[in-house]
């Protein structure tokens, strides 16, 4: 069932239940009101009968029935199946007027009227019998019984039922049709969004949905979808750039490998020449291996954070391990370590963070090795400062190397980008992009500040873990 049909049915069902309850309430109160009015009318008839009968009896003549008929013709109309009786203190019927079968009145009914003073009995849905105790100073107590059929209420309530049922049916038909068209109008923006989404493919992710300027729910949905398209466009563009650059970088060592091997196979060579070819091939293979490992690390750092195991890591110990590894790889590079004072309240483990040890080690190695590569030829040592606050742990790596321009600095996190000043330095341009992804994976950040010819400062910040 479509949303349009469901909305129309739900709207019609809610209205139907509401109108049905409203109709039942109207009918119930109308029925109770007419019933009470008819009961009051019968009691009024009983008082008239008692007054007319006693008036005739006190004058000593037998004109009670004639007087009652004249009174009815003058002030009232005769009710359907109307019967009125008057019983004296001995339960003897002394007056009767009516159109009914004149059935005898049970003595227990008369006794109940004498005890309670009033009596009402329902005989069927619209037939009532009332009893009234009437006291006269000269002639004593009398019981007046009046009975009649409420034909007006029966007719009017039947008409009311027909009007309510017909009105309910007509209203449901009108509301059903109106709800169908209303749901169509309400869902038309959604249908337009679906049509626009169907026309967007991977080749035109720059397109955006048009219904995103309003403040209603459809506009909010369009805005969220446009945000999703922004992320997809960025991801697709990054993927295309990554594949293009990675292919270019991988082609270089592969070309060297193939070229060296083809040259070696052209003719017989001396062992020295073969050794030189093998050494060149080994260097190209190592370069290819390093590049492949970097690409794998970038892919791993781009994983869902929930899939990367995290545990408490002592960043000071990790920095010492990274320092030893860099010194082993590049023994001519001098790196000085400086540890800041622990903040108040965190003297025990001030440099504790929560992260993946292997990834954090890769980030530290990338920053330290970059500092070593880009500061060769300078006499100033590289300075690595580890400090902590109550909520953050910070590593700053400063070198006095070649530095870079502001334009190059803004692109250092683009995979395979190489600054103009370091094109002659071996590398692939994946160290800082990898470090940036690792920091993002750990909820941290990386900042790069650099001046051309004065050096570069790279700052890593991570959330501190509770000891």
- The answer to which of 103-107, 135-139, 225-229, 291-295 has the lowest mean pLDDT is 291-295
Domains of the chain: 3-156 (3.30.450.20), 308-463 (3.30.565.10)
Which pLDDT belongs to residue 299? 59
- Positive or negative: CA dihedral 354, 359, 361, 362: negative
Note the pLDDT tens digit of each residue in 132-162: 888 877 777 888 888 888 888 888 888 888 8
Task: Give residue 248's pLDDT.
Answer: 55
pLDDT given at position 427:
59
Q: What's the Cα-to-Cα distance from 158 to each of 38, 58, 270, 319, rounded to whole Å?
A: 16, 45, 121, 94
Chain mean pLDDT for the chain: 78
Reported as a single tens digit per residue, the pLDDT across 18-41 is 888 988 999 899 888 888 888 888
Quick one: pLDDT at residue 242? 61
Question: What per-residue confidence (pLDDT) applies to 75?
Answer: 47
404 versus 467: the higher-pLDDT residue is 404
Q: What percent of the chain has pLDDT over 90?
A: 5
Distance linking the first and last C-alpha atoms of the chain: 56
Question: Rounded to 5 degrees, what are φ and ψ at 105?
Answer: -90, 130
More confident residue, 440 or 418: 440
124 versus 148: the higher-pLDDT residue is: 148
pLDDT of residue 397: 92
75-122 pLDDT per residue, tens: 456 677 778 888 887 888 877 777 766 777 888 888 888 888 888 888
Give mean pLDDT, residues 325-335. 85
- Give every CB contact of residue 29 below 8 A, 6+ residues apart in sequence: none
DSSP tally for the chain: helices H, then strands E: 10, 12
Structure tokens at 443: 């909820």
Res 460: pLDDT: 93
Nearest to 133 by CA among 146, 118, 123: 118
pLDDT of residue 343: 80
Angle of the 271-301 helix axis to the 217-266 helix axis, nearest 10: 170
pLDDT at 330 exceeding the cut of 80: yes
Question: Please, which residues have CB within 8 angstroms of residue 425's CB and are 6 or more apart in sequence?
Answer: 373, 374, 376
Strands (E) across 54-161 are located at 83-87, 93-98, 118-122, 127-136, 140-149
**What pLDDT sits at residue 14?**
86
Q: What is the mean pLDDT of residues 316-333?
A: 87
Q: What is residue 197's predicted lDDT score, i.e. its pLDDT? A: 75
Q: Which residues pair with 354 in a beta bridge?
A: 312
Confidence tier at 280 by pLDDT (50, 70, 90): confident
Q: Which residues pair with 457 in a beta bridge?
A: 398, 449
pLDDT at 396 over 90: yes
The whole-number pLDDT of residue 38 equals 85
- Here the tokens at position 164 are 């309510």
CA distances for 277 relative to 88, 253, 258, 273, angstroms: 143, 14, 11, 6
pLDDT average, residue stretch 388-416? 82
Query: Could you tell me which residue, 68 or 452, shows the higher pLDDT?
Result: 452
Mean pLDDT of 12-20: 85
* Residue 65, pLDDT above cutoff 70: no
Give dist(CA 427, CA 419) in Å, integer: 11
In this structure, the number of other CB atoms found within 10 A of the CB of residue 299 comes to 12
The answer on pLDDT for 221 being more than 70 is yes
SS3 readout for 262-313: HHHHHCCCCHHHHHHHHHHHHHHHHHHHHHHHHHHHHHHHCCCHHHCCCEEE
Residue 363 has pLDDT above 80, yes or no: yes
User: What pLDDT does residue 275 have?
Assistant: 81
């Amino acid at each position: 069932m479509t949303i349009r049909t469901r909305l129309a049915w739900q709207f019609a069902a809610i209205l139907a239940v509401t109108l049905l309850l409203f109709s039942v309430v109207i009918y119930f109160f109308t029925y109770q009101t007419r019933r009470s009015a008819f009961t009051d009318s019968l009691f009024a008839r009983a008082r008239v009968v008692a007054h007319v009968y006693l008036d005739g009896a006190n004058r000593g003549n037998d004109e009670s029935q004639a007087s009652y008929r004249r009174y009815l013709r003058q002030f009232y109309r005769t009710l359907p199946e109307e019967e009125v009786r008057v019983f004296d203190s001995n339960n003897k019927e002394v007056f009767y007027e009516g159109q009914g079968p004149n059935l005898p009145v049970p003595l227990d009914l008369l006794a109940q009227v004498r005890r309670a003073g009033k009596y009402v009995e329902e005989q069927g849905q619209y037939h009532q019998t009332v009893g009234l105790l009437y006291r006269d100073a000269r002639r004593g107590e009398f019981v007046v019984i009046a009975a009649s059929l409420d034909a007006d209420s029966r007719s009017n309530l039947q008409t009311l039922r027909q009007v309510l049922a017909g009105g309910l049916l007509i209203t449901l038909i009108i509301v059903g049709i109106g709800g169908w068209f209303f749901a169509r109008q309400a869902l038309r923006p959604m249908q337009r969004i679906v049509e626009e989404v169907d026309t967007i493919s991977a080749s035109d992710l720059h397109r955006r949905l048009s219904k995103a300027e309003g403040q209603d729910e459809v506009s909010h949905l369009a805005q969220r979808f446009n945000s999703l398209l922004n992320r997809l466009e960025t991801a697709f563009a990054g993927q295309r750039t990554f594949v293009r650059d990675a292919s270019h970088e991988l082609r270089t060592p592969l070309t060297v490998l193939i070229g060296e091997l083809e040259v070696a196979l052209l003719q017989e060579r001396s062992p020295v020449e073969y050794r030189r070819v093998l050494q060149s091939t080994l260097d190209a293979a190592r370069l290819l291996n390093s590049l492949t490992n970097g690409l794998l690390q970038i892919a791993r750092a781009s994983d869902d954070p929930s899939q990367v195991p995290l545990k408490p890591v002592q960043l000071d110990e990790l920095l010492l391990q990274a320092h030893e590894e860099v010194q082993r790889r590049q023994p001519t590079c001098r790196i000085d370590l400086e540890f800041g004072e622990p903040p108040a309240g965190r003297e025990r483990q001030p440099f504790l963070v929560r992260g993946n040890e292997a990834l954090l080690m890769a980030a530290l190695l990338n920053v330290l090795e970059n500092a070593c590569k880009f500061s060769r030829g300078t006499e100033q040592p590289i300075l690595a400062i580890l400090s902590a606050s109550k909520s953050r742990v910070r590593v700053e790596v400063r070198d006095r190397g070649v530095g870079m321009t502001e334009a190059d600095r803004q692109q250092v996190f683009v995979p395979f980008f190489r600054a103009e000043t370091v094109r002659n330095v071996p590398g692939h341009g994946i160290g800082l992009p990898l470090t940036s992804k690792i920091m993002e994976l750990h909820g941290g950040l990386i900042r790069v500040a650099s001046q051309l010819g004065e050096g570069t400062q790279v700052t890593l910040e991570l959330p501190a873990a509770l000891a």
